[in-house]
Amino acid sequence: MTKNKKHILVVDDESEDLDTMKTILEKEGYEVTAVSDGTDALDKLTGNGFDIILMDIRMPELSGYELLRMLREKINHHAKMLYVSIVPEKEIDMTDADGFIQKPFSPESLLKAVKKAMED
């Protein structure tokens, strides 16, 4: 692993979306940890420094809103957090979120949003 490699946590209960994001991001050279729910995401935070966290909003157990709030309390603002959702952006509470990716997404739109978040 190179010291410049960015580590991304992807949280999505839809396995197809989870696998797609992981594949696209890994091809681009990112280190990716993929989990299928918010509880697993919280567990992964111990000892792992993530640069970006991508999360679905509609998930069982913990919604993306609840997860984002808990992550902000736990790790403050050290990681950029983006929602990835089928819900239109205008209907989403973007409080404390660093960005949004609309589903269905293209590889280009996913990478563009991740790169933009890395630069901000």
Residue 69 lies in a domain: yes
On the question of pLDDT at 2 being above 50, the answer is no
Residue 1 lies in a domain: no
Phi, psi of 83 (to 5 degrees): -85, 145
- Output the domain CATH number for residue 110: 3.40.50.2300
pTM metric for this prediction: 0.92
Over residues 49-77, the pLDDT tens digits come to: 899 999 999 998 899 999 999 988 877 66
Between 67 and 1, the more confident residue is 67
For the chain, counts of helices (H) and of strands (E):
4, 5
Kindly give, in sequence order, each residue whose CB lies less than 8 Å from that of residue 119, ignoring residues fewer than 6 positions away: none
Radius of gyration over alpha carbons of the chain, in Å? Answer: 13
Residue 77: predicted pLDDT = 61
In sequence order, what E strands does 25-120 have? 31-35, 52-55, 80-85, 99-102
Residue 80 lies in a domain: yes
Burial of 51 (0-12, 13-18, 19+ CB in 10 A): middle
Residue 111: predicted pLDDT = 97
The whole domain housing 15 covers 7-119
Tell me what percent of the residues of the chain surpass a pLDDT of 70: 92
